[in-house]
Amino acid sequence: MHPAPSIILFTSLSGLGFGLLFFLGLGYPQPTGWVGFVFFLIAYFLAAGGLLLSTFHLGHPERAWRAMSQWQSSWLSREGVCAVAALVVMGLYALGLVFFDSAWQPLGWIGALLSLATVGTTSMIYGQLKTVPRWNMLPLTPALFLSLSLAGGALLAGQVTWATGLLVLAALVQVAWWVLGDKALVSSGSDLASATGLGAIGDVRAFEPPHTGTNYLLSEMVHVVGRAHALKLRAIAFGLGFVLPVLFLLLPFNHLWGVLAVLAHVAGVLVSRWLFFAEAEHVVGIYYGKR
Amino acid sequence: MTQLPETTERKLGLVIDLDTCVGCHACVVACKGWNTENYGAPLSDQDPYGTPSGTFLNRVHSYEITPKEGTAKLVHFPKSCLHCDDAPCVTVCPTGASYKRVEDGIVLVNEDHCIGCGLCAWACPYGAREMDAAEGVMKKCTLCVDRIYNENLPEEDREPACVRTCPAGARHFGDLGDPDSDVSQLVAERGGMDLMPEQGTKPVNKYLPPRPKDVLDEVDILAPLLATPETAEHRNLSGFLGWLDRTLEKI
């Protein structure tokens, strides 16, 4: 799949933002006044900024409001509904903390749940697609998004113990996702024989593409460039995203280590998310003899 | 509404004969022509005289198939929307722009509601949906919905442009929900098949596999020389001609 920068930034940043909102909603930490304002500003900058970024890849962003309507069938629609609900509820909770110095806790709990649900729905947009076997690993893909979001959220919220544990958990899920993902296309059963239905006659080979030029399908769904360095990039993503932050957290606490842990983690998540798209094979590539 | 209907009254679709398709791409051109001049946004091209790309609702691939024994064969393979019963492109749509019609099963896009997110194209295993780069909306085969019911056209033209134009008669249009229709009969007779059945999309369009090639019996190239010469006995003529034949043979 084509790794569009707007979607990579959106899923990574909003994942972190909603993760932070989750911990803020639960009351870990429960900052008031100016400190609270800064905490919520960061969370909203990441969560809502990410959402805004995601509209940049739309053909018609001005119609984006329509995307709220089909929550009964569409995970993308559910994501929109959950995101707006989470931002509104957490906004009210933040209002209490920042301006009235009081925690309206039920709102926080609801907001935390909605924040988590938003990340879950985002992951299902990808997890539901049978056409991309590497993403269609349930419940592993939602587990990956949720564990990354929670680990990043705990890190941003300054919950050192939780962050360490969740980073280790996310690292394990990430490795499992990579290892199992490498077998997903083959075990999906889709190949040129099933795609053409001609496998019973003999070995099928793509002889001639429909056009000499490229097309939307190839540029959107058959991305091969990034895979050449996939292994090196996985190592970089793992080192930055999990190993370095955990090391920084294990050092005696210092705000500088905290900031470095966050920066390393965000960079690692961005690389991991880039690979999430670049490595994913769409079955339509089979028709073109590519993957 | 992006929830799929439980059932559709009819299942209009195409039957594509891989045995007779000659790979001329006339269906591709007819499709592009009709769908650029009529229903919805035109199918744009980008940089047509440089490194071209463009929107097409129908594309013809070619595949080489090498059997265990014998020579390889070439199969031309037209591919357009299969108007699936379980269309994954419809249910993923967040805006309700994509829908499957209850009355005839055609899968359509309401271009005024499409936000151009591209998720439906991701959900389609067949590459049937293409985002138009100029309009920013998703384009797909409409089964020429503006032809098949169009009473301003002569009756013989009320079928999809690709079917109407195919010089080899490799494309057939009809109701695949009716077991007595011509297309259903054709599918039953020739073993019509689904593409990527493992994706669970339940396509309406069917593909007819190539028929086995004719096989000649072993013939000795010396056969004409080895043939038994004809005799009067073989000719076995009766009457005067027979007597003459036999008598002349004896001389």
Q: Please report whether residue B6 resides in a domain.
A: no
d(CA A134, CA B194): 23
Token readout for A118 is 């938003």
CA distances from B216 to A104, B213, B227 (A): 87, 10, 19
Same domain, B226 and B149: no
Q: Do A77 and B72 touch (CB under 8 A)?
A: no
Q: What are phi and psi of A249, to 5 degrees?
A: -70, -30
d(CA A280, CA A291): 9
Among the candidates B208, B226, B242, a domain finishes at B208
Q: Do B61 and A208 touch (CB under 8 A)?
A: yes
Indicate whether B33 pLDDT > 70.
yes
Asked whether the beta carbons of A229 and A236 are under 8 A apart, the reply is: no
Identify the pLDDT of residue B13: 97
Q: Please report whether residue B113 resides in a domain.
A: yes
B64 has which bridge partners?
A: A205, B74
**CA-closest candidate to residue B183, choices B149, B208, B161, B166:** B208
Identify the pLDDT of residue A34: 93
CA distances from B127 to A61, B57, B80, B248 (A): 24, 9, 8, 77
Same domain, B250 and B167: no
Same domain, B80 and B203: yes
Asked whether the beta carbons of A152 and A19 are under 8 A apart, the reply is: yes
In B, which residues are within 8 Å of A216 by CB distance? 53, 55, 121, 130-131, 133
Q: Would the ipTM clear 0.90, i.e. be above it? A: yes
Same domain, B77 and B36: yes
Q: Do B136 and A59 touch (CB under 8 A)?
A: yes
Asked whether the beta carbons of B106 and B10 are under 8 A apart, the reply is: no
In the 3-class helix/strand/coil scheme, how is A10-23 assigned residue by residue?
HHHHHHHHHHHHHH
* Among the partner residues B28, B72, B125, nearest to A283 by beta-carbon distance: B125
Same domain, B236 and B118: no
DSSP for residue B213 = P
Q: Do B115 and A70 touch (CB under 8 A)?
A: no
DSSP B109-150: E-TTT-----HHHHH-TT---EE-TTT-SEE---TTHHHHT-
Same domain, B98 and B139: yes
Identify the pLDDT of residue B137: 96
Q: What are phi and psi of A91, to 5 degrees?
A: -65, -40
Identify the pLDDT of residue B209: 96
Pairing of strands B12-17, B206-208: parallel
Same domain, B60 and B133: yes
B130 has which bridge partners?
A: B139
Same domain, B184 and B251: no
Residue numbers in chain A where pLDDT is lower than 50:
none
Indicate whether B232 pLDDT > 70.
no
CA distances from B171 to A44, B167, B196, B243 (A): 55, 9, 20, 61
* Among the partner residues A66, A215, A284, nearest to B113 by beta-carbon distance: A66
Q: Please report whether residue B156 resides in a domain.
A: yes
Chain B's closest residue to A212, CA to CA, is: B52
Identify the pLDDT of residue B1: 61
Instruction: Please report where in the chains the tokens 């001329």 appear, as a residue.
Output: B24
In A, which residues are within 8 Å of B63 by CB distance? 192, 196, 198, 204-207
In A, which residues are within 8 Å of B75 by CB distance? 196, 198
State how far Cα B40 lies from the chain centre. 24
Same domain, B39 and B127: yes
- Tally the residues of chain A: 291
- Tally the residues of chain B: 251
Tell me the pLDDT tens digit for each residue of B183-223: 999 999 999 999 999 999 999 999 999 998 777 777 777 77
Tell me the pLDDT tens digit for each residue of B48-94: 999 999 999 999 999 999 999 888 999 999 999 999 999 999 999 99
In A, which residues are within 8 Å of B133 by CB distance? 216
Q: What are phi and psi of A204, to 5 degrees?
A: -100, 135
A208 has which bridge partners?
A: B62
Identify the pLDDT of residue B227: 64
CB atoms within 10 A of CB B167: 9
Same domain, B139 and B232: no
Identify the pLDDT of residue B157: 96
Identify the pLDDT of residue A57: 83
B78 has which bridge partners?
A: B60
Indicate whether B229 pLDDT > 90.
no
Identify the pLDDT of residue B246: 82
**CA-closest candidate to residue A245, choices A143, A187, A166:** A166
- The number of folded domains in chain A is 1
Q: Is A6 on the interface with B (CB under 8 A)?
A: no
d(CA A276, CA A27): 32
Identify the pLDDT of residue B133: 95
B15 has which bridge partners?
A: B172, B206
Q: What domain range is B234 assigned to?
A: 217-251
Q: Do A283 and B96 touch (CB under 8 A)?
A: no
d(CA B71, CA B73): 6
Tell me the pLDDT tens digit for each residue of A96-139: 999 998 889 999 999 999 999 999 999 999 999 999 999 999 99
Asked whether the beta carbons of B193 and B15 are under 8 A apart, the reply is: no
Same domain, B48 and B98: yes
Amino acid at A90: M
How far is the alpha carbon of A15 from chain B, nearest alpha carbon, in Å?
A: 20
Q: What domain range is A251 assigned to?
A: 5-287
Identify the pLDDT of residue A25: 96
- The number of folded domains in chain B is 2
Same domain, B170 and B250: no
Instruction: Please report where in the chains the tokens 């806790």 appear, as a residue.
Output: A105
Q: At CA B152, angle to CA B146 and CA B155, rounded to 5?
A: 85
Q: Do A69 and B94 touch (CB under 8 A)?
A: yes
Residue A251: give its domain's CATH number. 1.20.1630.10
d(CA A7, CA A133): 19
* Among the partner residues A68, A75, A201, nearest to B67 by beta-carbon distance: A201
Amino acid at A32: T
Residue B157: give its domain's CATH number. 3.30.70.20
Q: Do A197 and B207 touch (CB under 8 A)?
A: yes
Identify the pLDDT of residue B104: 95
Q: Do A202 and B77 touch (CB under 8 A)?
A: no
